[in-house]
Chains A and B, each alone.
Chain A
Amino acid sequence: MTDKNGGQPALSPENARVIELTRKDFVSDQEVRWCPGCGDYSILAQTQKTMPDFGVPKENVVFISGIGCSGRLPYYMNTYGFHSIHGRAPTLATGLKLANPSLMVWVVTGDGDALSIGGNHILHSMRRNVDIKVVMFNNRIYGLTKGQASPTSELGKKTKSSPAGTVDYPVQPLSIALAAEASFVARSVDTHTEHLQETLNKAGYHHGSVFVEVLQNCNIFNDGAYREFTERDVREDRMLFLQDGQPMVFGKEHDKGIRLNGLHPEVVQLGNGISEKDLLVHHEDAEDPYLAFMLSRMWWPQFPVPVGVLRRVERATHDQLVEGQISDAITRQGAGDLAKLLASGETWTVSR
């Protein structure tokens, strides 16, 4: 039978010290070939930086990618990696976890790979709570194939394939992830390196289906898609940095907040009778996703863009349930006896 480490990877900073991995251990010998100025460089760097924290032996980490610029990432990580076909990485990841549940499996994908051709597989791998960490680089364009519209491109976006502008309404990826019952949903930004590292770190620690949207800038085919609110000097006023258990406050002066007005969120100025007590308090682990869903709908300029962990709930993972059924069956029926199985049902013997 396959060599398994028996159960979930040991994730704790203590183990990291014992194994003594560093960022360098995760850098491969391949020369990185993204366009100069691409947001992917930053994501790669933060991923490499956060890997040692989990205390997972390097040989137990696997990166599976689809097709797109994001698809190149496994080649630049010195781990087991699989650059698979367009949209299907979550399916390979599901099968890999079934074969060896002790592996830590990351799925690297893009807005086209995950939400166009791969939409169905995102839906199902998230709802099954397969213990995989899906990181989707959302640059709102198809980069590798040189600039077509993607499912997250704005309505009316002019591209080579839509010279008169797109006629398709885009989707909000985190709303999709939440609707698909993902048990960990988060958003970060390629240029905010500390926040990105922290988010990837939290994602890695979660057992269950993880969906992280990274707002990524494609400086060649869709430059500045998020600049309006991610630029360093405005981001504190235009993004909402979520903190579990904390009221939703934002702004450089911490003077603005989000409160509930009927069924809708509302931006308010603190002071003049409005205090933090009136604001919505963020709870990552709320059993129902209403708050998280509402956060997933908020976008600039109507609202500050929420980043951080929107939702984090614990449920039995797919491989835990599958393993559980196997061990139950063995307990109830005894380990499989092949000779007995072949001879089951009515048999008769011909002698001589």
Chain B
Amino acid sequence: MTTETLPRKDINIQELDRVTIRFAGDSGDGMQLTGNQFTRTTAVFGNDVSTLPDYPAEIRAPAGSLPGVSGFQISFASADIYTPGDEPDVLVAMNPAALRTNVGDLPAGGALIVNSDAFSVNNLKKAGYESNPLTDGSLKQYNVFDIPISTLNAGALEGLDMTAKQVDLSKNFFALGLMFWLYERSMEPTLRWIEQRFAARPVIGEANRRALKAGYAFGETTEMFHTTYKVPPARLAPGTYRNITGNEATALGFVAAARLAGRDLVYGSYPITPASDILHALASYKNFGVKTFQAEDEIAAIGSAIGAAYGGALALTASSGPGIALKSEALNLAVMVELPLVVVDVQRAGPSTGMPTKTEQGDLLMAMFGRNSDSPVPVVAPATPGECFEYAIEAARLALKYMTPVVYLSDAFLANGAEPWRIPALEEMPDISIANHTDRPFEPYARDPHTLARPWAVPGTPGLEHRIGGLEKADVTGNVSYDPDNHHHMQLLRAQKVAGIAEDIPALTAHGPQSGDLLILGWGSTYGAIRSATERLQAEGWSVAHAHLRHLNPMPANTEQVLRSYRKVLVPEINLGQLSLLLRARYLIDVVGLNRVRGKPFRIIDIKQAAEELLGRNGK
């Protein structure tokens, strides 16, 4: 596979270490496809890449309207990249509505490439423009490239036996070709992909090829562009990579976990944004023995998972905030009967229906406390789309080893965002299996001395017939008990069992100096923005480190010691201060929260500025 590009003349070549491009258009403009193809090529070239699609909020919207705009942001670099970028350097807007909704994020001086053919009177009206922004001077602070993409594309496709509508569908390849030229990307991977995917429609395949090459050639021959950009490949660890979204990784993680546990995966769930894709993915893995069950409601979903766990399967259910709220009584039943179960919460903006497609980190306290009585459950939270895989296995490991439900907190940003993921080899993955109990005599609530887990005696095992349920149990025998001292004892035992997990999880590590002026501590999807901000601060000479919790309950045993090694602790969260509240309550440390609840990930600059303010008060 070659990454050769065509020779250039009279063009400046500027080397950059990072570029962020946003593609935006109507659904007919094919921006998701363009974004995905650009991502593939860039990843194959060797850059580190982070992407975030921006889907329309409506299921369907009229063509050219504002709610119909679809976007795709990609950030790529020659070094490690952690976020899809604060703002784009380049905005490719295929129609007025796309321009309208996105131009506000383009900084002054940014490049704006527009399909001028789409700026008709009607389209301008649909986008709410009184006058044409391309001609009325309102875009003068940007570097505007006014290109009749539709016309040029149609010209390149002349002679092909296609309708005008089909011709227009290829213009996204024209735009793609142009961007490839601009950023010195090879067309080879996309050309091969076109050949493969359009084998059934050779005319369209030919059209796409021509469009791609025409866009590339346009960049070459036009006088418009004086500079192309070169972003050298990054130094990624050796291995085989693929692009993966958080939801894909979550689904694959649990398939792997079931294989590693030697049990069938039974998944009970109910469709809810943004978790439905997990159900769709798992439903397609039947040849792995995965049994998916689309229940009649959220409670039936977790009920079926509990029944499956009772029967000895690796049981899983997933939802988002409102669904998790519905599951709380059943989750508490799982706590009382001490059966292994993983509950995935792909968090979204709330409260109530909230903003279903927007991200938030608002369910941490619900995961910790949202059930009647003291009801401790382990809580894990992956930090990146790729980590969604390994933490699925970790959640299953804890559930099985400690005979407890585990809450796995993801969010909409992780779920839909993508990054390159080094595919782990099967040999690298842990054996998380535990054996079913078969010995007699059998006491349902006798405990393993180390883990405090009770034995797992599965129906179908001769001689171990017993009853479990939601009523309080006597220690060891598991009979129903109303004894006051027993209840106190069992409350403590259940809490102890979960607390003891702290000895079984990795220590909290700080990226940067091991002690200093400021620690930025986060959890979940804020990882990328915090890491980027920290590295920039470090580069400027500040004494700052970044630590990131993947286990929220219990926290690693050294957490307090790490926090106390820094003069101040900043906790950025997309909520009103839930981790902050836990840290204060547990460790009596006056952490400072950075709380923005806008339904969007943090910008690197927001965290950097907040850190600088805190550091400024300290002195350098």
* Contacts from A to B (Cβ < 8 Å): 1-5, 28, 30, 57-60, 62, 64-65, 74-75, 78-85, 88, 90-100, 102-103, 120-121, 123-124, 322, 325-326, 328-330, 332-336, 338-339, 341-352
Contacts and interface: CB of A to CB of B under 8 A. Distances in A.
A98 B242 contact: no
B300 A79 contact: no
A1 B241 contact: no
B297 interface: yes
B315 interface: yes
Interface in B273-287: 285-287
Nearest to A81: B467
Given A79-B465, A91-B307, A95-B303, A345 B242 contact: yes
A338 B293 contact: no
A1 B459 contact: no
A283 B210 CA distance: 70
B303 A88 contact: yes
Nearest to A26: B465
Interface string B249-266: 000100110010011101
B163 to A, nearest CB: 30
A176 B329 CA distance: 26
B296 A120 contact: yes
Contact of B308 (A79, A95, A123, A325): A95
Contacts of A120: 296-297, 300
A341 B255 contact: yes
Given A1-B289, A338-B255, 17 more contacts: A2-B313, A30-B479, A59-B459, A80-B467, A93-B307, A95-B304, A95-B315, A99-B312, A100-B311, A102-B460, A334-B287, A338-B259, A343-B240, A343-B423, A345-B242, A348-B44, A349-B241
Interface of B: 40, 43-44, 46, 236-243, 252, 255-256, 259, 262-264, 266, 268, 285-289, 291, 293, 295-297, 299-313, 315, 329-330, 333, 337, 423-426, 436, 458-471, 479-480
A98 B313 contact: yes
User: Which A-B residue pairs are the 8 nearest by beta carbons?
Assistant: A91-B303, A83-B469, A95-B307, A99-B311, A95-B304, A336-B288, A92-B307, A329-B286
A219 to B, nearest CB: 24
Contacts of A350: 46, 236-241
B480 A99 contact: no
Contacts of B262: 1
A299 to B, nearest CB: 29
Nearest to A73: B467
Contact of A352 (B238, B264, B285): B238
B329 A62 contact: no
6 contacts: A2-B311, A57-B462, A59-B460, A81-B465, A99-B311, A99-B315
A332 to B, nearest CB: 8
Contact of A124 (B300, B305, B337): B300
A326 B289 contact: yes
A98 B304 contact: yes
Nearest to B263: A2
B333 A98 contact: no
A123 B307 contact: no
A330 B461 CA distance: 28
B477 to A, nearest CB: 11
A329 B308 contact: no
Given A95-B308, A348-B43, A348-B44, A341 B300 contact: no
A326 B480 CA distance: 39
Nearest to B283: A325
Contacts of A347: 240-242, 423
A166 B78 CA distance: 74
A319 to B, nearest CB: 9
B311 A96 contact: yes
Contacts of B424: 342
Contacts of A341: 252, 255, 285, 288
B255 A92 contact: no
Given A79-B465, A94-B304, A343-B423, A100 B459 contact: yes
A10 to B, nearest CB: 14
A175 B287 CA distance: 39
A83 B458 contact: no
B302 to A, nearest CB: 8
Contacts of A74: 467, 469
B252 A5 contact: no
Contacts of A60: 459-460
B3 to A, nearest CB: 11
B241 to A, nearest CB: 6
B238 A95 contact: no
Nearest to B461: A59
A28 B465 CA distance: 10
A96 B310 contact: yes
A348 B238 contact: no
A3 B311 contact: no
Nearest to A344: B242
A98 B265 CA distance: 10
A103 B311 CA distance: 9
Nearest to A348: B44
A351 B46 CA distance: 11
B292 to A, nearest CB: 9
B467 A346 contact: no
B287 A121 contact: no
B287 A330 contact: yes
Contacts of A351: 238
Contacts of B460: 3-5, 59-60, 100, 102-103
A342 B241 CA distance: 10
A94 B293 contact: yes
Given A80-B465, A124-B296, A98 B329 contact: no
Nearest to B252: A342
